[in-house]
Amino acid sequence: MGICPKCLAESDNLGALCTCAQSHIIRESAVQAAQTDRLLGRLIARRFALVDELGAGAMGVVYEAIQHPIRRRCAIKVLQADLSKKESLRQRFIREATAASRLNHPNLVTLYDFGVEEDGLSFIAMEYLNGFPLSELTPYTDLDIDSVVHILRQILRALAGAHKFGVVHRDLKPDNIFLCELSGDKQFVKVMDFGLAKLTEDDSLDRELTMAGEVFGTPLYMSPEQCLSAADIGVPSDIYSFGALAYEIICGRRLFDGKNAMAVMHAHVTKAPPPLFPRPGLELAAKLHDVVARCLVKEPAKRYDSANAALHDFEEALGLRSGPAIKSPDLKKQIEDDSDMVALTPSMFDLKVNAASVTTQSSSWLHAPPQGAPRWLIPGRDEIRAQRDPALKKPEDNKS
């Protein structure tokens, strides 16, 4: 049942224009929010009726919408009105839309449209995802080995898909990994939120958005080079972020922790990654340790040069594919080389900067749903591990 936020008339036609002609029909559960949120019930771009608020973040609000005339359910991301006036943030919003519009991959969120309304309201329309962010599963103790492999494998596929179209994500983290039910798979991965994405053929905007004392990204998963500079960040940076994420999911703890952002960034630049000790009950092939270790090498040129290469070795380590393996480097030598880098980096990393002055800019939008809102993000948790990737059969099971 829906309701008009203006005249309070009830209707079953969600998203339709009310007979009072003052608003479109919204979800009944959103009536209270509509008292302070004037966008609920509004029609965006003459076809997207905002019917509910899904979540809010520092950058803006995400709404559920009904697209007319096809009545497709979708999600609308709206930049806060006051932030729309800030050129750097408006450019970042446009960057996200531009990057997402290039992408075409099952594991990447699909963008339908984006634009700016006459009153300056900036919006992005994208596919509606029914699920929850990976961050809600921390510390990942409910994920068995099959789930871990299934999720990490899809993340690499998503990165490979983005890199194919010249897009580097630059803010890979659990909040931006969405698990939803699709095609019978209850752990289908969608990588989202390309607010910090870099278009590899054009770094002019990076130079414009790089400001003294400001770091773009999420420190817990930032590559060493990203901690040092917002410029010259490419595919290897995403590979490192994947490694940090994989480490956390496998071990149940973060790669590096610290009392503040500065301390974490300093660790990424100067400290060798701690040994990968899987959490209790999780056994991994030794070769998979090598794959994660290579992702976390300090020097970008010594990591995997593509997500496809990392995916190849990832699958090879688990016996999920046949064919010639991509030659792995001498990891022992890499660690020794990294120790040399550790001796060099303090002069590059200005430790005199007050930690409080470091501002980290993340593209994270979606926080917890508003108080009292339906938990649309959370499907049945008992079923989360029910789906398994057919490719995860033991090698001998695949023999005919």
Phi, psi of 384 (to 5 degrees): -60, -30
Expressed as residue numbers, the domain containing 31 is 2-127
CATH of residue 194's domain is 1.10.510.10
Q: Is residue 389 part of a domain?
A: no
Triad 249, 252, 255: Cα angle to 5°? 80
Residue 225 lies in a domain: yes
User: Minimal CA–CA distance to 133: which of 173, 75, 184?
Assistant: 173
369 within a domain of the structure (yes/no): no
**376 is written with which tokens?**
């649309």
Is the same domain home to 204 and 65? Answer: no
Q: How many domains does the chain have?
A: 2
Integer Cα distance of 316 and 323 in angstroms: 9
Residues 247 and 272: beta-carbon distance below 8 Å? no
344 and 357 housed in the same domain: yes
Phi and psi (nearest 5°) for 205? -70, -30
| Together in a domain, 83 and 199 | no
* pLDDT tens digit at each of 400 positions of the chain: 899 999 999 999 999 999 999 999 999 999 999 999 999 999 999 999 999 999 887 677 999 999 999 999 999 999 877 776 777 777 777 777 887 888 889 999 999 999 888 888 889 999 999 999 999 998 898 899 999 999 999 999 999 999 998 888 888 999 999 999 988 899 999 998 875 556 554 444 444 444 433 445 689 999 999 998 766 788 999 999 999 999 999 999 999 999 999 999 999 999 999 999 999 888 888 899 999 999 999 999 999 999 999 999 999 998 886 544 444 444 444 444 444 333 333 334 443 333 333 445 554 444 333 333 333 222 333 333 334 344 333 334 444 4
Structure-block tokens of residue 327: 């030659």
| Among candidate residues 85, 101, 127, the one where a domain is terminated | 127
Looking at residue 114, which CATH number applies to its domain?
A: 3.30.200.20
Give the pLDDT of residue 231. 67
Quote the tokens at residue 184: 């019978």
Whether residues 296 and 325 fall in one domain:
yes
- 171 given a catalytic annotation: yes
The answer to the question of residue 195 being in a domain is yes
* pLDDT value, residue 217: 65
| Residues 101, 53 share a domain | yes
137 lies in the same domain as 96: no
Residue 343 lies in a domain: yes
Q: Note whether 260 and 274 are same-domain residues.
A: yes
Pick from 208, 255, 206, 246: nearest CA to 226: 206
Q: Are residues 197 and 322 located together in one domain of the fold?
A: yes
> Does residue 35 form part of some domain?
yes
Please choose, from the candidates 183, 169, 187, the residue with its C-alpha nearest in 3D space to the C-alpha of residue 132: 187
Are residue 85 and residue 190 in the same domain, yes or no?
no
Q: Which of 37, 52, 171, 338 is the catalytic position?
A: 171
Q: Is 388 within a domain?
A: no
Q: Are residues 225 and 338 in the same domain?
A: yes
* pLDDT at 393 (0 to 100): 39
Measure the CA–CA gap between 28 and 280, rounded to whole angstroms. Answer: 45
Domain co-membership, 218 together with 327: yes
Domain for residue 372, yes or no?
no
**According to the model, what pLDDT value does residue 195 have?**
58
**Are residues 333 and 300 part of one domain?**
yes
